[in-house]
């Protein structure tokens, strides 16, 4: 996998979700499974800088313009914990939807470039 662009949106209630219709259409889970929680929502608030839509370009190897690094330090059957290099958000938990995105596993490192969408 080179890089992949993932889209996220914030609903009026302040909850963040990944926009992943193929996950829902494939019967892999429901909308609640796509909610960003436990630090991931805070990370989107910070990188989104107030925007209700954020696009993250992600990859397992460094790439041009990757300015965020997530380092896995713990995982279990429900997800994985990552340290970040974002001063306002030290830690995020990513559920197993991450495994769907990355082809069956939680990567050790996730390199990220964020952009805001309107």
Q: pTM of the entire structure?
A: 0.82
Helix/strand/coil (H/E/C) assignment for every residue in 23-43: HHHCCCCCHHHHEECCCHHHH
Strands 109-117 and 16-18: unpaired
Dihedral in degrees, nearest 10, Cα atoms 15, 85, 102, 10:
20
Say how far apart CA 30 and CA 47 lie, in whole Å: 26
What pLDDT sits at residue 63? 86
What span, in angstroms and rounded, lies between the C-alpha atoms of 50 and 78? 29
50-104 confidence digits (pLDDT tens): 888 888 888 888 888 888 888 999 988 888 999 988 878 889 888 888 888 888 8
Q: Which helix (H) or strand (E) holds 73?
A: strand 68-75
């Amino acid at each position: 996998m080179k890089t992949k662009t993932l889209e996220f949106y914030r609903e009026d209630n302040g909850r963040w979700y990944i926009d992943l219709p193929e996950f829902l259409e494939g019967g892999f889970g429901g909308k609640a499974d796509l909610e960003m929680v436990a630090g991931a929502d805070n990370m989107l608030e910070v990188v989104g800088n107030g925007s209700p839509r954020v696009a993250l370009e992600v990859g397992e190897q460094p790439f041009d313009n990757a300015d965020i690094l997530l380092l896995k330090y713990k995982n279990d059957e429900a997800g994985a914990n990552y340290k970040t290099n974002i001063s306002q958000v030290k830690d995020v938990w990513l559920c197993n939807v991450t495994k769907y995105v990355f082809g069956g596993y939680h990567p050790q490192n996730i390199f990220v470039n964020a952009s805001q969408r309107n």
